[in-house]
């Protein structure tokens, strides 16, 4: 069952009912100011950091769900409704919500009043703009009251939800007839405030939530709104909010536009005040002015759309498969950009108060946006490398506001350093800019400790080399990519963090997955080192790659089961092999080791793919492991703490399915690659939205597996590495467009139904127009600007900006 439809021309998903199985959200903002917005107008805003600069309040785990947000009420002779349906839940005569690229719009109506609302964060300002248009579609004149309201958060979202003894005494605002300024704590140590502005002078206002709602009411029935009045309350403690009231009369056919701006302003410490206790509003007023007219708002919205058009023009495919094109050209790239901006910080499932930026997650996210915003990718790589230690290990996370490593989590995830090599390679291959390797980059952010980024890559690899276990395979440490495979944790106390507790690290537990990573990224590094003339380093790493590859072929493959083993635990027992009672096979090494080409000459990759399809495949993709653990295994950790078929214990973890898709491409199995790609790609499963439940336009972290009672139900949408890796599988695997050091490789792996494919790709400032004629067979003829060439890699020629490439497969 569907709850809406895609509108590809406008790059929107159109939600046709407020009754979606879960709130279906979108993200507004492209730089520092961000908002989350659901299809019922819920959500919240923050500046840069969802924990430390929360502007509006949101209540997670609330009942009823999702009632914090932007509140636009209409009281039409006692019928009270919201443009976005919640919080009043009044049935609407019509409802539509369109989630577009960084904007969301609503269109609803009730009793002859038509309401439109468009919400976006402009490119250049720290604010969310909401444009409201109200039209009287009835035959008679209409008089009603309109309310626009937001609830402020006291900036630090954790303190806001904890420290009531202090923060219920702080609230301060200033008010004029257009704007409420929220200045709590501004008089002492904060140099910033928020405001809520209305383009038309209001007829009444409220700023005290207790007064506005009335003591016993919720947001579904504020006393001011139900009475059709305002109390003109001035908050001085408890809960600050902003509400503007308008008494409106519209003639038949008449429209009234109102613009609201939720803004954030920082002032220099010596320019904070206009007069004693009166905040300096210069910047705020300049911002308000820019959005005070319809023309200003329309122009800003157009700029935003132009920005997205320009970005997405860099990679466009036309395959004849509408759903594939929709994912490729719109939604998958969009989700990659959102994960770039949010990391794992703020979603409807990540509260924005916990994880900062993850080392591993951020390195992988980068693979999905480096072609769109390479400069930002460069910056990100340096930020990430700066939390590394001199022995190559690294903090697992950092806070975006100060960029310092997070000491609470610390280090010890042995996959982390290798992701840095992968991310840097992707950047250099995309841009050709090897100068990034020379950038002096500190360790643990300590001034004076800087070494060229190149050295960071080298020590990342050395870290694996220096930390091998009894089988010559890399030690796993606290965990590798699979955060829940905690082989040194041995946790028996409730509340202990599986990620940080190590009760039994004997330096024995090994990871075959990290072996796959080392072989893949180590080989990449060898190519890079040779390319820039560091022959000695190349030789050294090449030798080590060989050693780990041999160790994997010898001890990392289950020759009875016919697939890669997952790990060795602290007793050197196999994990994820046919010898195990449960958890006999894991997906991660099948994908990654095949991708790395380990044992290719012996056909190990082919076998691993066969086994994955045999044991792991369900209706939604390949499950993470099979069969799931039914009891707690102290020697395995968190993975066995989840119900069977859920999360890492045997769900389809969308993040690692693309590794297998890509592995299928490496092994030249286009049909299987496409089969797997389609199973979890949002556009292909839209009509199962009632089962899948999360948004049908983005990936979620997981989809419950066969052993779960909620088989097919997805969880944790938006902020997941699934976005990036699915895009990499789509663009580099199936479409076969792979940036290489020397040029752009074109090596498609297309299913037979894609007979004619065109692609537009911007690469190092040049434009590639690629046409592929796909007939059965594996031989490709490549013609570049009229000349046939033997290599699949198209090298750039000085002075030539346009490349017309025709590939004929036969």
Contacting residues toward ligand GLC, per CB under 6 A: 344, 355, 358, 360-361, 481-484, 499, 638, 647-648, 655, 701, 720-721
Closer by beta carbon to ligand GLC, 102 or else 722: 722
Q: How far is the CB of 480 from ligand GLC (least distance, A)?
A: 8
Name the residue among 572, 612, 567 with its Cα closest to residue 414: 567
Q: How far is the CB of 638 from ligand GLC (least distance, A)?
A: 5
Q: How far is the CB of 58 from ligand GLC (least distance, A)?
A: 20
Closer by beta carbon to ligand GLC, 244 or else 647: 647
- Give yes or no: 483 in active site: yes
Closer by beta carbon to ligand GLC, 460 or else 482: 482
Name the residue among 521, 699, 666, 510 with its Cα closest to residue 590: 666
Closer by beta carbon to ligand GLC, 647 or else 692: 647
- CA separation for the pair 250, 256 (Å, rounded): 8
Question: Rounded to 5 degrees, what angle do the CA atoms 747, 748, 751 make?
Answer: 155
- CA separation for the pair 424, 521 (Å, rounded): 10
Query: Is the Cβ–Cβ distance between 343 and 358 less than 8 Å?
Result: yes
Closer by beta carbon to ligand GLC, 179 or else 701: 701
Closer by beta carbon to ligand GLC, 109 or else 644: 644
- CA separation for the pair 217, 719 (Å, rounded): 34
Question: Rounded to 5 degrees, what angle do the CA atoms 109, 114, 118 make?
Answer: 95
Closer by beta carbon to ligand GLC, 406 or else 431: 406
- CA separation for the pair 416, 410 (Å, rounded): 12
Q: How far is the CB of 132 from ligand GLC (least distance, A)?
A: 38
Q: 431: which 2 tokens?
A: 């841009």
Closer by beta carbon to ligand GLC, 130 or else 351: 351
User: Of 483, 558, 569, 618, which is the active-site residue?
Assistant: 483
Number of C-alpha atoms within 13 angstroms, CB side, residue 681? 28
Distances (CA, A) of 355 to 45, 350, 466, 720: 18, 8, 29, 13
- For the CA atoms of 778, 783, 784, 786, the dihedral, rounded to the nearest 10 degrees, stands at -170
Closer by beta carbon to ligand GLC, 358 or else 736: 358
Q: How far is the CB of 297 from ligand GLC (least distance, A)?
A: 37
- CA separation for the pair 152, 47 (Å, rounded): 13
3-state SS record for 162-223: CCHHHHCCCCCEEECCCEEEECCCCCCCCCEEEEEEECCCCCEEEEEHHHHHCCCCCCCCCH
619 Cβ contact partners less than 8 Å away, ≥ 6 residues apart: 679, 712
Name the residue among 46, 262, 276, 290 with its Cα closest to residue 149: 262
In 3-state terms the chain splits into helix, strand, coil percentages (rounded to 5) of 30, 30, 45
**Residue with smallest beta-carbon separation from ligand GLC:** 483
- CA separation for the pair 351, 347 (Å, rounded): 6
Number of C-alpha atoms within 13 angstroms, CB side, residue 723? 30
Q: Is 786 exposed, middle or buried (0-12, 13-18, 19+ CB in 10 A)?
A: exposed
Name the residue among 383, 479, 465 with its Cα closest to residue 423: 383
Q: How far is the CB of 383 from ligand GLC (least distance, A)?
A: 17
Name the residue among 341, 343, 345 with its Cα closest to residue 372: 341
Q: Could you count the other beta carbons within 10 Å of the beta carbon of residue 724?
A: 26
Q: How far is the CB of 374 from ligand GLC (least distance, A)?
A: 24
Q: How far is the CB of 698 from ligand GLC (least distance, A)?
A: 14
Q: How far is the CB of 387 from ligand GLC (least distance, A)?
A: 15
750 Cβ contact partners less than 8 Å away, ≥ 6 residues apart: 319, 670, 674, 734, 735, 736, 757, 772, 774, 809
Closer by beta carbon to ligand GLC, 358 or else 522: 358
Cα 808 → chain centroid: 36
Is the bond leading into 71 cis (omega within 30 degrees of zero)? no
Alpha helices in 412-508 (DSSP H): 416-431, 453-465
303 Cβ contact partners less than 8 Å away, ≥ 6 residues apart: 122, 123, 124
Closer by beta carbon to ligand GLC, 263 or else 621: 621
DSSP string across 280-305 = --HHHHHHHHHTSSHHHHHHHHHHHH
Is the bond leading into 108 cis (omega within 30 degrees of zero)? no
Closer by beta carbon to ligand GLC, 231 or else 653: 653
Question: What residues are labeled active site?
Answer: 483
């Amino acid at each position: 069952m569907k709850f809406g439809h895609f509108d590809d021309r406008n790059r929107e998903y159109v939600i046709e009912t407020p009754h979606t199985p879960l709130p279906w959200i979108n993200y507004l903002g492209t730089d520092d100011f961000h908002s989350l917005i659901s299809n019922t107008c819920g959500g919240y805003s923050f500046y840069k950091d969802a924990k430390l600069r929360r502007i509006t309040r949101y209540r997670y785990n609330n009942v009823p769900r999702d009632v914090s947000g932007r509140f636009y009420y209409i009281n039409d002779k006692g019928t009270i409704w919201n443009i976005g349906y919640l919080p009043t839940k009044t049935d609407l005569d019509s409802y539509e919500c369109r989630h577009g690229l960084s904007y969301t719009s609503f269109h609803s109506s009730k009793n002859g009043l038509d309401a439109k609302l468009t919400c976006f964060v402009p490119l250049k300002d720290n604010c969310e703009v909401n444009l409201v248009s109200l039209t009287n579609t009835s035959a008679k004149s209409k008089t009603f009251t309109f309310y626009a309201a937001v609830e402020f958060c006291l900036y630090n979202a954790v303190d806001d939800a904890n420290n009531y003894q202090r923060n219920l005494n702080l609230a301060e605002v200033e008010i004029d007839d257009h704007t409420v300024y929220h200045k709590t704590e501004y008089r002492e140590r904060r140099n910033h405030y928020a405001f809520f502005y209305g383009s038309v002078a209001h007829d009444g206002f409220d700023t005290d939530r207790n007064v506005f709602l009335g003591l016993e009411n919720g947001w579904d029935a504020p006393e001011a709104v139900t009475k059709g009045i305002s109390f003109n309350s001035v908050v001085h403690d408890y809960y600050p909010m902003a509400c503007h009231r308008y008494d409106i009369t519209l003639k038949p056919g008449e429209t009234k536009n109102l613009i609201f701006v939720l803004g954030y302003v920082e002032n220099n410490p010596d320019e904070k005040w206009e007069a004693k206790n009166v905040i300096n509003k210069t910047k705020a007023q300049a911002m308000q002015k820019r959005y005070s007219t319809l023309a200003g708002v329309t122009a800003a919205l157009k700029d935003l759309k132009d920005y997205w058009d320009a970005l997405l023009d860099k990679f466009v495919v036309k395959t004849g498969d509408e759903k594939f094109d929709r994912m490729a050209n719109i939604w998958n790239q969009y989700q990659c950009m959102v994960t770039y901006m949010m990391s794992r910080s703020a979603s409807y499932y990540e509260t924005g108060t916990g994880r900062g930026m993850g080392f591993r997650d951020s390195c992988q996210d980068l693979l999905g946006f480096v072609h769109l915003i390479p400069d930002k990718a460069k910056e990100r790589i340096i930020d990430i490398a700066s939390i590394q230690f001199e022995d190559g290990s690294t903090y697992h996370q950092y806070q975006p506001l100060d960029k310092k490593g997070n000491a609470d989590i610390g280090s010890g995830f042995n996959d982390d350093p290798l992701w840095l090599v992968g991310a840097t390679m992707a950047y250099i291959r995309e841009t050709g800019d090897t100068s990034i390797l020379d950038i002096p980059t500190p360790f643990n952010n300590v001034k004076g400790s800087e070494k060229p980024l190149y050295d960071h890559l080298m020590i990342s690899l050395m870290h694996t080399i220096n930390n091998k276990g009894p089988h010559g395979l890399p030690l796993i440490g606290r965990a590798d990519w699979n955060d829940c495979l905690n082989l040194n944790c041995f946790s028996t106390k409730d509340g202990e963090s599986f990620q940080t507790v190590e009760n039994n690290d004997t330096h024995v537990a090994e990871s075959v997955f990290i072996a796959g990573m080392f072989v893949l990224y180590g080989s990449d590094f060898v190519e890079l080192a040779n390319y820039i003339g560091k022959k000695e380093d190349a030789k050294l790493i090449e030798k080590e790659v060989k050693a780990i590859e041999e160790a994997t072929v010898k001890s990392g493959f289950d020759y009875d089961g016919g697939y890669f083993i997952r790990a060795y635990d602290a007793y050197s027992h196999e994990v994820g092999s046919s010898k195990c009672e449960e958890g006999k096979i894991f997906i991660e090494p099948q994908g990654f080791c095949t991708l790395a080409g380990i044992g290719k000459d012996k056909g190990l990759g082919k076998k691993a793919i066969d086994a994955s399809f045999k044991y792991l495949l369900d209706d939604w993709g390949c499950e993470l492991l099979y069969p799931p653990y039914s009891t707690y295994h102290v020697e395995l950790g968190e993975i066995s703490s989840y119900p069977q078929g859920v999360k890492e214990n045997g769900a389809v973890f969308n993040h690692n399915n693309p590794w297998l898709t890509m592995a299928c491409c490496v092994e030249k199995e286009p049909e299987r690659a496409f089969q797997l790609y389609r199973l979890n790609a949002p556009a292909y499963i839209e009509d199962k939205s009632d089962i899948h439940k999360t948004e049908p336009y983005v990936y979620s972290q997981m989809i419950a597996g066969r052993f779960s009672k909620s088989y097919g139900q997805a969880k944790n949408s938006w902020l997941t590495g699934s976005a990036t890796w699915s895009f990499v599988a789509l663009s580099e695997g199936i479409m076969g467009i792979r940036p290489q050091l020397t040029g752009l490789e074109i090596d498609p792996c297309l299913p037979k139904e894609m007979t004619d494919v065109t692609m537009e790709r911007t690469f190092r400032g040049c434009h590639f127009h690629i046409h592929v004629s796909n007939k059965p067979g594996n031989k490709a003829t490549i013609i570049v600007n009229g000349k046939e060439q033997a290599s699949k890699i198209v090298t750039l020629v000085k002075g030539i900006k346009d490349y017309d490439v025709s590939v004929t497969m036969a």
